Amino acid sequence: MRRRTTVRAGVSGRQLLVAQGAMIGGLALTLFVKELPGIVRELRIYRMTGGLRARRRYP
């Protein structure tokens, strides 16, 4: 006796994981782009103060 194959309407688990990953990646990219000017400013300040070489000057 053969089993009948049923066509499932909906989203498979793998498709759901891919969709969630794309959504989280998009949110992370948006947050990174929004915070990029502040990150660049902080890096510039860090370089002006000497970076890792400035241990003796700035305790």
Per-residue pLDDT of the chain (59 residues; tens, 9 = 90+): 677 777 667 889 999 999 999 999 999 999 999 999 999 999 999 888 888 777 666 55
Per the structure, the count of domains in the chain is 1
| Distance of alpha carbon 13 from alpha carbon 38, whole angstroms | 38
Structure tokens at 24: 């989280």
The predicted structure's pLDDT at residue 3:
73
The predicted structure's pLDDT at residue 20:
97
| Distance of alpha carbon 15 from alpha carbon 12, whole angstroms | 5
Is 29 part of a structural domain of the chain?
no
Is 24 part of a structural domain of the chain?
no
* pTM of the complete model: 0.58
The predicted structure's pLDDT at residue 29:
97
Domain span at residue 44? Answer: 34-59
Q: Are 29 and 37 in contact (CB under 8 A)?
A: no
